[in-house]
Amino acid sequence: MPDAEVRVTDLTGTMDHYDVRVRSQAFDGKTLLDQHRMVYSALEAARQDGRIHALQLTTEVPHG
Amino acid sequence: MANDPIRAEIEQEVAANPILIYGKGTKEMPRCGFTLETIEFFNRFGYPFEVVDVLENMEKREALAEMTQWPTLPKVFIGGTFYGDTDILGPMDEKGELGAILEAACGPRASRSVFLR
């Protein structure tokens, strides 16, 4: 997702619970479920090895 | 397939519960912040819902992840359809889409809140 604008907030100060906001044209025409699936698969390695324990996710398509 | 009984169990649970949450811990004792958040989310609507604790059932968690193509817990099913988690349901609620889905799955409630805009 090369055009993605990503904003990440560390929710707990422990560097493993994050609020993540992703804005990308790649989400256009996709359901919210599929948009989130795209982000989760991009982050799979970091979830598997424990760098990310919990994630609160917001996705959006940029407007105009 | 080895996990067929697990899938059958999941399908049965999904069919039997209009609102079903697979999470970590129970409704009385959630063991994950996001599971608690999801329980609180559904408490606001006043429809009955079920929480199935899969924290220590790795086989079932894997089967669920495969069936939904969704890697994380909690996982929410409404009326037999998978809706992800509160990151999906929250925005749906803000857009006013969730009420009708819940009512279709659970039937009308005795007392409904009316939102005016």
Q: Which two tokens stand for residue A42?
A: 């991009």
Q: How many angstroms separate the CA atoms of A12 and A54, rounded?
A: 10
Q: By residue range, what is the domain housing residue A30?
A: 5-60
For residue range A12-41, what is the model confidence (pLDDT) as tens digits? 888 878 899 999 999 999 999 999 999 999
| CB-CB contact of A51 with A14 (8 Å) | no
- Whether A60 has its CB under 8 Å from any CB of chain B: the answer is no
- What is the Cα–Cα distance from B23 to A28, expressed in whole angstroms? 30
pLDDT of B57 > 80? The answer is yes
Residue B75 domain-assigned? yes
Q: How many domains does chain B have?
A: 1
Quick check: is B114 in a domain? no
Domain of A28, CATH number, reads 3.30.300.90
**How many separate domains does chain A show?**
1
How far is B69 from chain A, CA to nearest CA, in Å?
A: 7
CB contact under 8 Å between B84 and A32, yes or no, is yes
Joined together, the tokens standing for residue B54 give 């899969």
What CATH number has the domain bearing residue B47? 3.40.30.10
Q: What is the ipTM score, two decimals? A: 0.85
- Distance CA(A6)–CA(B15), nearest Å, equals 38
Is 90 exceeded by the pLDDT of residue B53? yes
CA of A31: which chain B residue's CA is closest? B88
For residue A41, give the 3-state DSSP assignment: helix
- Tell me if B82 and A33 make a contact (CB, 8 A cut-off): yes
- Domain range for B62: 29-105
Residues A16 and A53 sit within 8 Å (Cβ to Cβ): yes
Segment B50-58 mean pLDDT: 97
